[in-house]
């Protein structure tokens, strides 16, 4: 019985290794893509090529994946190693941070209380919000009501819901709100907003 167990474990381990070997390039690429999202946009092209070629040079399946997983930490480090961004880049960095935050949340509500011009883009598992004008207050709340972001920038009236469980529905709910009263009404009605 004991020998049978050992045999079964060995077979399963061999299968797992084969599966990992098969999906290794895809997984590594997925990790690289994820890490690139954290990087400042002006650095992405460079590091995409560099990281893909470097990962392909690393021998071993698990080592390759481990190497690629480290790019997440690297992306944060590179961002902080770079000189301070210009104002336009800073705006984008904000959007990137917001993307990261929304990626981590199951459900996010963004309430903006003045006029804002923004464009939206759905990413793999979240929502990225690019605020393109200034002077607006925004608040971002987590599902449990804990404020994760609270600052003053410039923008427009909008209440944005990112319903991760239903991306299409969530995307439709992203229509900008033209009036402050309507925004306030929605904010007041939203149980997620403390």
Partner 1 sequence: MDSDELRITGPLLKIVHQFLENPEEQMSGADLAQRTNVASGTLYPILRRLEVAGWLTSVWEDVDPKVVGRPRRRLYKITALGARKARIAIMDTFAPKGVPAWGL
Residues that bind partner 1 (CB under 8 A): 46-58, 67-68, 70-74, 76-78, 80-83
We find the least distance from the C-beta atom of residue 26 to partner 1, in angstroms, to be 15
We find the least distance from the C-beta atom of residue 9 to partner 1, in angstroms, to be 30
We find the least distance from the C-beta atom of residue 119 to partner 1, in angstroms, to be 30
Q: Which is nearer to partner 1, 14 or 82 (CB)?
A: 82
Q: Which is nearer to partner 1, 23 or 56 (CB)?
A: 56
Q: Which is nearer to partner 1, 42 or 150 (CB)?
A: 42
CA distance 30 to 173: 28
Q: Which is nearer to partner 1, 18 or 50 (CB)?
A: 50
CA distance 81 to 158: 34
We find the least distance from the C-beta atom of residue 31 to partner 1, in angstroms, to be 10
Q: Which is nearer to partner 1, 76 or 130 (CB)?
A: 76
Report residue 167 as tokens. Answer: 């991306």
Q: How distant is the alpha carbon of residue 76 from its chain centre? A: 13
Instruction: Write out the DSSP string of 135-194.
Output: EEEEEEE-TTS-EEEEEEEE--EEEEEEETTSHHHHHHTTPPP--HHHHHHHHHH-TT--
CA distance 21 to 54: 18
We find the least distance from the C-beta atom of residue 78 to partner 1, in angstroms, to be 5
Grouping H, G, I as helix, E, B as strand and the rest as coil, residue 10 is helix
Pairing of strands 135-141, 107-113: antiparallel
């Amino acid at each position: 019985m004991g020998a049978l167990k050992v045999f079964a474990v060995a077979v399963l381990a061999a299968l797992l290794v084969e599966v990992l070997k098969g999906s290794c390039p895809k997984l590594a690429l997925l990790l690289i893509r994820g890490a690139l999202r954290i990087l400042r946009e002006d650095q992405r092209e460079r590091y995409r090529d560099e990281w893909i070629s470097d990962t392909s040079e690393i021998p071993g399946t698990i080592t390759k994946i481990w190497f690629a997983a480290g790019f997440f930490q690297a992306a944060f480090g590179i961002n902080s190693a770079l000189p301070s961004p210009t104002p336009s880049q800073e705006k984008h960095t904000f959007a990137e941070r917001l993307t990261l935050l929304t990626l981590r949340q199951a459900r996010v509500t963004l309430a903006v209380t003045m006029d804002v011009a923004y464009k939206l883009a759905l990413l793999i598992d979240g929502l990225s919000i690019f605020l393109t004008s200034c002077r607006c207050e925004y608040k971002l709340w987590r599902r449990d009501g804990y404020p994760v972001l609270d600052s003053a920038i410039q923008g427009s009236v909008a209440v944005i819901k990112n319903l991760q469980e239903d991306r299409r529905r969530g995307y439709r709910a992203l229509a900008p709100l033209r009036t402050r009263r309507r925004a306030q009404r929605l904010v007041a009605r939203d149980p997620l907003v403390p």
